[in-house]
Each structure stands twice: as C-alpha cells, then as structure tokens.
Amino acid sequence: MTATPIPENPRIPWYIWLAALAVTSAIVGIQWDISWHRSIGRDAFLTPAHIAIYLCGILSGLYCAYLIFSATFGHGPARAASVHVWGLRGPLGAFIAAWGGFAMLTSAPFDDWWHNAYGLDVKILSPPHVVLALGIFAIQAGVVLLVASQRNRASEKTRERLEWLFLYVGGMGLLLLMSLTLEYSSLVLQHNAVCYQALCVGVPATLAIMSQPSRNRFPATTVAAIYMLFMLGLLWILPLFPAEPKLGPVYHQVTHFVPAGFPILLIFPALALDLFWGKFPAMNPWKKALISGPLFLLILLAVQWPFADFLFSPASRNAFFGGDEFDYLTRPNSLAARHVFLGNAGAREFWIGIAWALLWSVLSFRVGFSRARGLSQVQR
C-alpha cells in the first residue's frame, strides 16, 4: 500500500525541524560534557552539558507523542503514512525515537547513582553511558527514518531541501559515532592499528547509509565535512571559556575548557568514495564494498598517519590546531604530554591489525549498502 503523497511544495513540518534540533542538542551536550570532564571534573549532575543531552530526550518525546497520537486518533496523510505498534499508529521513526528518548531519560538517574557510587568515569563507555548512547542512537535512527520517509514522499522542490537536512542529520550521527570511539582514536593511538580498526567498524557504514539514497553529488563528503566543521568549531570556541578543575589530583594546570582535539581527516576518504560511487552507481553491493573498504582505509592511513606526526610537532601547538591542549589528569610523563605515540607490539602484529581493519571496513560498507536500500524506499 502506497503512502499518501505530500501536497505540492509544502513547508518542511515543524516536527522534522524539532527532530533535527533534538539530535543537535545531544551532540552539543556530549562534546561539552567530555570537555567538562577533562577540564572541571564531574562536579554536579545538572551541569549545562547534561541538560543539553537530556533535552534531546525531552524534545524527542514531544514530537513523537504528537506524531503517534495524531496518527492514532486523527485522519489524513499522517495516518496513512504510519505503521501499527501495540494498538497505536505513527511513523516508524517516531516509535524508534520514542524508545530512545525513554532510554535516555532512564539513564539519567542510573548515571547519577554510578558517579555517587564509583566516582569519576574512567572510560567514556561506562554502563550508564552505554544506556545513554543506545538511547541517542535510537533517536538518531528514528530521525533519519523520519526525514527519509518525508523526503521520499515529497515533491521535487521540497525533496531538495530535505536532502540537505537528511545529510545534516547524518553528520550528527557521524559525530555521535566518533564521540564513542574517542578513546580508541586519540592522538597517541593514531600510529596504532587499534585506531584504524575502531574507525573502520562504524564510519564506513554511516557514510554508506547516508550517501547511497542521496541525490547529492558529494553526500559522503558533506557528512564528513559537517563532522569536521563541528569539531573545529569546538576546538576554537571551547578554549575561549574559563574553567578550572574541581576534583583531584590535578597533574596539568587547566584554565579553560579543553576540547577533544583536531578532528580525524575523514573528509579525504569520503571524497574519494563519492567520486568512486558516482562513476559506478549500479555496481553489485558486494563488489562495491570490496573496493570501498580498501579505498577508505588506505586513504585514511595515507592522510591521518603523517598528519598525526604534525599534530605532535611544535608547529601544531597553537590555537588553530590545538596541539598543546591537555586535560587536568594528563601526567607529565604520559605519552600525550611527551608527544609520543603508543607503538604496536611489532610489524607483524601491526599488519594483522590492519588486515582486521580492512575486513571491518568491507563488512561495514556492505551492511551500510544494505540499510541504505531500505532508506531509499521507506514511506512510513
């Protein structure tokens, strides 16, 4: 059954804008919270960064409730373009995002209890943060589905505008993924196979999912550029605000918010992928994945490896590149403070690790191509 088409040249619905605002609020809050932990420590539950994160769940609850109840008890295109779940009707994306909002808000008291019981997080992926991440991923997936279904049913003129919004939401998804891999892609690990394994697990799938249904000429490049511009904005803006540690021990004196560092140069492999995909749009998915996987990894290695050398050099120790930014827990004898990379166990172990990264890259692209096909057809 075909969903009722959207009338000619409508405005983009308010709930689509609210959904995009929700995922943006989560990403801003996550990056702000990471900087807060690095600069101040975990001094209170209701920090501005936490409020920004949980605002995502609140906003998602608002637009999901509107979409589900209006489709369940109303009439018209919203009801026709909906699915049945537990006696209710609504867009599939709204049900997924609603679950994500519930998981996010559930994680809040869990996170507060965890910090009271165990203190400062040692790792980003603590149990309450995993619940929070799952909730944000669900909201992200729901928003992607909402925008994709709206785009697929829209008139040509409105579709062009929704296309850009779709890629923007994809950029927020890439930012979320990169936030979760931060511990495995830090500067000291960028000469280690572990870094490239981490980047090859989810990034290729994200680029493929957001790019294949798009009519934009450079969709993967656009998604990667949104990630890069967002992270550069944080790199340049956060240090303008004062901050000082409120927890000990303090190994490095901090006077301002510490950003996460210069972004990974994903824009270069993304551009290469766009050029390749643009020339062979109808290639068999497995064949495309077998070419895209090595292409992504080799170009990433070619640009990030020497750039990591530069970021550890004196030339990067300025406000533009942020090569001299360290959090208050950075010990003077640490690898980061000494500008030394964490090496591999040996050449053999390194190339085995890169081989695994290549495998993850190929499989990730194949999964992404499979999911992208559904996004190009979703109507509800």
Instruction: Dump the DSSP string for 138-154.
Output: HHHHHHHHHHHHHHHHS
Confidence of residue 124 (pLDDT cuts 50, 70, 90): low
Following CA atoms 290, 294, 299, 302 in sequence, which dihedral angle do they give, to the nearest 10 degrees?
-170
What stretch of H or E contains 61?
helix 48-73
Q: How many CB atoms lie within 10 A of CB 355?
A: 12
| Better-scored residue on pLDDT, 89 or 144 | 144
What stretch of H or E contains 236?
helix 219-237
Range from 97-101, 217-221, 262-266, 299-303 carrying the lowest mean pLDDT: 97-101
Q: Are 208 and 200 in contact, with CB atoms under 8 Å apart? A: no
Residue pointed to by tokens 């798009």: 214
Rg (CA), the chain: 22
Range from 35-44, 162-171, 293-302, 336-345 carrying the lowest mean pLDDT: 35-44
Give the per-residue pLDDT at 44. 66
43-61 average pLDDT score:
82
Buried b vs exposed e over 101-116: b needs ≥16 C-beta within 10 Å? Answer: bbbbbebbeebeebbe
105 pLDDT higher than 60:
yes
Mean pLDDT of the chain: 84
Q: How many CB atoms lie within 10 A of CB 20?
A: 20
Q: How many CB atoms lie within 10 A of CB 17?
A: 13
Query: Considering only CA atoms, which of 283, 275, 299 is closest in space to residue 358?
Result: 299
Range from 12-26, 107-121, 181-195, 358-372 carrying the lowest mean pLDDT: 107-121
Collapsing DSSP to helix, strand or coil, 192 comes out as coil
| pLDDT tens digits along 219-229 | 999 999 999 99
pLDDT > 70 fraction of the chain, expressed in percent and rounded = 85
Give the global pTM.
0.88
Give the per-residue pLDDT at 70. 80
Tell me how far CA of residue 85 lies from CA of 12, 69, 90, 275, in angstroms.
Answer: 25, 12, 8, 41
